[in-house]
Amino acid sequence: MHDLWPTILLGIIEGLSEFLPISSTGHLLVAEHWLGERSETFNIFIQLGAVLAVCLIYKERLSSFLFLWKDREKLPYFLKLSVAFIITSILGLWVKKMGWELPKDLGPVIIAIFGGAFWIYFTEKVSSQRQSFVEEISWPTAIAVGASQVVAGVLPGFSRSAATILMAVLLGVSRPAATEFAFLLGIPTMFAASLFAWIEETHFLKNPSLDSPLTLATGFCVSAVVAFISVKWLLSYIQTHTFIPFVWYRVGLGFFLIALVALGWKTQ
């Protein structure tokens, strides 16, 4: 397997960046420049690996949704997740039909990375004026978070996590509660997006992937393990910290990409 190490490295990068508010798109764009561009099927598999990690972390919460008829107290939360997902789906399909998605090229990605940094900084500054936060997700918040997911689709590099978590924080939700809702919402959203992309890529397996099963399995497993560790770390970190450090990381990443452009690097 000649591409073992590139596969492992891309799995690590996806696992680290998918659920942190730092943009997995920007990191994979840079990585694939040096490691070689991969197929859409490979990217889908490493993304699904990251999703599996979140499913494992929230397995108790997810399993509780299977027995809502026993515990009706969890029904409102499940319904809010469902409505948020429906809003994301409707707006996402509409945006795709209108052709408003920006390409995953350096220019748009750099703008989105800086835009995401400003969004995090603005939200943290506004929320710092609050005396207290709520733990419950309200219906307006659920709707707003569902709509904000579309931003990440329109602006590759903005970060789905940054868009959704910080939207809830802006509306007064505590960082842990906002992160949990955003990550749980991300599970069906990313599964649906991956399925849609897979159908487009393979035309229902009429054009099968050229990647070997071993390559896909390796990327999937590495991404899952690394994502599990990174999400666990983030959930611990936000108990006592803000998202401000991610602002400066994104700014640094943005300037690094600008330097690449200045050196003559272009993407197709």
- The answer to whether position 188 is within a domain reads yes
Residues 6+ apart with CB under 8 A from 5: none
* Residue found under tokens 């990605």: 109
pLDDT at 207: 67
Mean pLDDT of 23-31: 87
Q: Is the dihedral of CA 165, 162, 241, 191 positive or negative?
A: positive
Residue 113 counted as domain residue: yes
268 within a domain of the structure (yes/no): no
Q: Which of the two residues, 56 and 34, has the higher pLDDT score?
A: 56
pLDDT band for position 112 (cuts 50, 70, 90): very high
**Residue 210 placed within a domain:** yes
Which one-letter DSSP state was computed for residue 136? S
267 is a domain residue: no
Number of domains present in the structure of the chain? 1
Residue 177's alpha-carbon distances to 112, 114, 263, in angstroms, are 25, 25, 43
Tokens of residue 138, six digits? 């309200």
108 belongs to a structural domain: yes
**Each residue's pLDDT tens digit, 196-252:** 888 877 766 666 667 888 999 999 999 999 999 999 999 999 999 999 999 999 999
Q: Domain range holding 84?
A: 4-262
What average pLDDT does the segment 12-25 reach? Answer: 94
State pTM to two decimals: 0.93
In a domain, 228, yes or no: yes
